[in-house]
Chain A
Amino acid sequence: RKEVEQDPGPFNVPEGATVAFNCTYSNSASQSFFWYRQDCRKEPKLLMSVYSSGNEDGRFTAQLNRASQYISLLIRDSKLSDSATYLCVVSRSYQLTFGKGTKLSVIP
């Protein structure tokens, strides 16, 4: 079993739609959780950290359920510029473990 598993993509949604990505992780010792965004042929960039209390950054909301080892990302009012691959990431001390990523295409 992969340490971090994500929804298979791709997700093709119209502008303005709400889209949710789910992720599960297998190592209960994981300490930190993130969503990274990766544009085509570019490097990953941190989108947001994920906290147990849930956190929001504009149109983006992230949730963490440690008991279920489940992480989610909700994007509201999708923009064309949100088109990218979204990577679920967990960390134990120094090492980041990435999921395969879910590709999102926002269509006009």
Chain B
Amino acid sequence: DTGVSQNPRHKITKRGQNVTFRCDPISEHNRLYWYRQTLGQGPEFLTYFQNEAQLEKSRLLSDRFSAERPKGSFSTLEIQRTEQGDSAMYLCASRGQGASSYNEQFFGPGTRLTVL
């Protein structure tokens, strides 16, 4: 499978626990994005990496959230001290280099987080 993969696909946790999600982008893609999607809403941008550098973070990304892409390949998103409001689908997307006017992002299947 050469698409974007995410693990785990589902995570149920208790409030206050820490969780970590992993994203493996399409292998030749140097750009990686994290989004969050809640029921009835479109995905909302969280953060963006170009290679290993985190170039942008949304105001949605509170201090409890941290994302890394240590070797410019896979990425992890960690949420500390989870709250019920963190329950959402966390989507990862990747994009290769190319003309900036055509910037299709390919999405992974997402990790569905439920905080009890």
Contact = CB atoms under 8 A, between A and B. Distances in A.
Interface stretch (A11-19, A39-47, A60-68, A72-80): A39-47
B103 A99 contact: no
B76 to A, nearest CB: 19
A100 B41 contact: yes
Nearest to B108: A43
B40 interface: yes
Nearest to A101: B42
Interface of A: 4, 31-32, 34, 42-46, 49, 87, 89, 91, 93-101
B41 to A, nearest CB: 6
A32 B42 contact: no
Contact of B43 (A34, A44, A94): A44
Contacts of A87: 42-43
A87 B56 CA distance: 23
Interface residues of B, number: 26
Chain A contact residues: over half helix, strand or loop, or mixed?
strand
B109 interface: yes
Contacts of A45: 107
A99 B102 CA distance: 19
28 contacts: A31-B100, A31-B101, A32-B103, A42-B109, A43-B110, A44-B43, A46-B106, A87-B42, A87-B43, A89-B42, A91-B103, A94-B50, A94-B56, A94-B103, A95-B33, A95-B45, A95-B48, A95-B56, A96-B33, A96-B35, A96-B43, A96-B105, A98-B42, A98-B43, A98-B44, A99-B42, A100-B40, A100-B41
A52 to B, nearest CB: 11
Interface in B52-66: 55-56
Nearest to B110: A43
Rank and list the top 6 A-B pairs by shortest CB-CB distance, nearest first. A98-B42, A43-B107, A98-B43, A46-B104, A95-B45, A87-B42
Given A87-B42, A96-B45, A100-B42, A49 B110 contact: no
B69 interface: no
